[in-house]
Amino acid sequence: MKIAIASDHGGFELKQELIDHYAKEGVVLQNLGTDSTDSCDYPDIAKKMAETILLKQADLGILICGTGIGISIAANRCRGIRAALLYDDFVAEMAKKHNNANVIVFGGRTMTTQDVIRRIDIFNQTAFEGGRHLRRIEKIEEEK
């Protein structure tokens, strides 16, 4: 599975810690930036991630901003993106089981690295249930 990761300046440090952590496990995360703590705009980062996922250049996206809120809002404006803010372990499980999120989101200023790594692992170890949940996520994509 190919995983892409991106953040604004508020999530830069957490992003680098996740890249380092998974590299030690032999997993290379595709880094879409930003590349420093210099201020940047999270909608630009969210759009770059959405393009990467929708073009199938990665199977899963990890997005990070300060709280995870702004970048979630921006990513979810892109048709086909299901971005879920994993604010606890139960939600990490349900975001895969019921929502089949294709982007998972974290807050660099609100979450510890340890908590985030555990939630990524929970999400990846969970299967999408399909059935009625597939019907519901398909309805999200219907033209209004």
Tokens coding 21: 């952590």
Helix-helix angle 113-125:89-97, to 10 degrees:
30
Neighbours of 100 (CB within 10 A): 18
| 66 sits near ligand RB5 (criterion: CB under 6 A) | yes
What single letter denotes the amino acid at residue 98? H
The CA distance from 24 to 65, in Å, is 24
| 42 sits near ligand RB5 (criterion: CB under 6 A) | yes
Question: Smaller CB distance to ligand RB5: residue 61 or 70?
Answer: 70
Q: Which residues are catalytic?
A: 98
| 65 sits near ligand RB5 (criterion: CB under 6 A) | yes
Selected binder of ligand RB5 within 3, 5, 6, 10 (CB under 6 A): 10
Closest C-alpha among 41, 21, 99, 25 to residue 6: 41
| 8 sits near ligand RB5 (criterion: CB under 6 A) | yes
The CA distance from 72 to 33, in Å, is 16
Q: Which stretch binds ligand RB5 (CB under 6 A): 46-54, 59-67, 92-100, 112-120?
A: 59-67
Least separation, in Å, of the C-beta of 8 and ligand RB5? 5
Q: Do β-strands 3-7 and 30-31 pair in parallel, antiparallel, or remain unpaired?
A: parallel
| 67 sits near ligand RB5 (criterion: CB under 6 A) | yes
| 103 sits near ligand RB5 (criterion: CB under 6 A) | no
| 61 sits near ligand RB5 (criterion: CB under 6 A) | no
DSSP 86: -
Point out which residues bind ligand RB5 (CB under 6 A): 8, 10, 42, 65-67, 69-70
